[in-house]
Chains A and B, each alone.
Chain A
Amino acid sequence: MSVALSVRALGKHFGELQALRDVSFDAHERELLAVVGPNGAGKTTLLSIIAGTQTASSGSVTGPAPGDGVARKVGWAPQQPALYSKLTVAENLRLFARLERVADPDAEVERMLEQTGLATRAGDLLGELSGGNRQRVNVAVGLLGAPPVLALDEPSSALDPRQRERLWRFIRGLAQDGTSVVFSTHNVGEAERYGDRVIVLDEGRMIFDGTPEALMQAAPAQAAGDFEQALVAFLSEGPEL
């Protein structure tokens, strides 16, 4: 798999607070990369820098090479849906498609409505949709212009289990179609189930980068077999050498 996104020696500080320290990793095509860690670990900061809503204090984020025809290198869906509640689903998608300067906005809207399964709700005001459907539109806006990398900040945090399942099915479909998805989550079960790879952040440092299985193996022996236990033990005691 080729590298879709390369993060090198990324650092970010807010005054005295060091939110990210020397974080480096690659995200590959068709890969679902989970970013996990406790509160304040730097997950949202990392996703924000990748998405371009914040600038890094040091280091670099490199996306696909320019000139490959994509409107934007990294698509982004923030934790809370960033959409206009007084506009319909289709109007939201059309507005952002136009702002993204997508070549054929109407066709792109049709494609996204089809892809998200929201074609029947296209005329509904966003404020009248369920949290799950709103999040699907939120992700769909991030996918406008078919970016090769999609950054999702805790995409399922406000959803019930059924909505969550539908959303992950959709995201997995995106990865299978070639998109590299970097997502942060508090739900370690999701990271284990849907992440091809897991990055663990703690106090701004990246302390693990590997598959969920590798994390389980690296965790202390008493947490064997339980991913959540393994992660907690890993964060408290560090990897078993």
Chain B
Amino acid sequence: MSQIVGNPTVEPAEPDDRAATTSFTDYLRALLRDKVTAVAALFLLILLVAAAGAEFLAPHDPNAANLRARFIPPLGTARDGTFYLFGTDELGRDVLSRLMHGATVSMSIGLLGAICSAIVGVSLGILAGFYRGKLEIVLMRAVDGMMALPSLLIALFILFVIGSGFANLIFIFTLLHWMIFARMARSLTLSYKEQTYVTAARAVGASDLRIILTHILPNMISPLLVLFTLEIAVLILSEASLSFLGFGVQPPRASWGLMIARGREYISSAWWLVVMPGAAIFLAALCLNLVAAWARAISDPVQRWRWLTKPSTEKDAT
């Protein structure tokens, strides 16, 4: 990165405040120019729509067993002429419909879990960074300690004791994932606190709460969004693992991890029962990671120009 900063020939021609007022359409245009990220974003959009509207969009009832249409391979047709895009499972249930309903569960756990962890982590992180003192020491020790422990193992243990279920999963993900948000919020708060605009705000008599809400928090939105996107991917993967082991979402609710666990018994005869839900998890996580990487690059003032302006010469980036 230092190469770019130190090299005046590759700086954007326009003054910098132009970049600060980049509109939504500029971002959209930049997104469309980057083919891979555009495809990833499109896939996530489709996934979100499928998850949100699974109730109406799914071609079949996800729990309707049809013993005369068991183990139909993808793109297969049952005897009664029904077409199954992703095939059917051991009870003759439509895999596509189950995947869509599974998406509802996985995406909402990922989103809600990340939102709750972000709220807890960011609040604590800002408090620690803003007020420093004992609070900061205790909190950061706790963060370091908790991050050093194997989280999947602890999640399993808590679920084992309090029982599994949707709300319990969200609670556990919040408990085990707030630390990373707290760490980032604290370090950002520490650097913003010393900025002139915060001193100025304090000089005109702004309260701590006002300084935090209007001068510190808005500045961390973009790095936090990147982290948030990454966390959704992490949570979707964790949920799948826990459900696969039987400690996450419980049947008859469809969940991607649960579908793999059930399909595992039939892996040698009906590969699609394992491949399809796993591919869904993989693609969802991959696309979230791609979008996060793009968002990180575009929200970085040093790198932003290369996404917002049409690339003419390619230079090495770090």
Q: A and B: partners?
A: no
Chain B interface (Cβ within 8 Å of chain A)? none
Q: Which A residues have a C-beta under 8 Å from some C-beta of B?
A: none
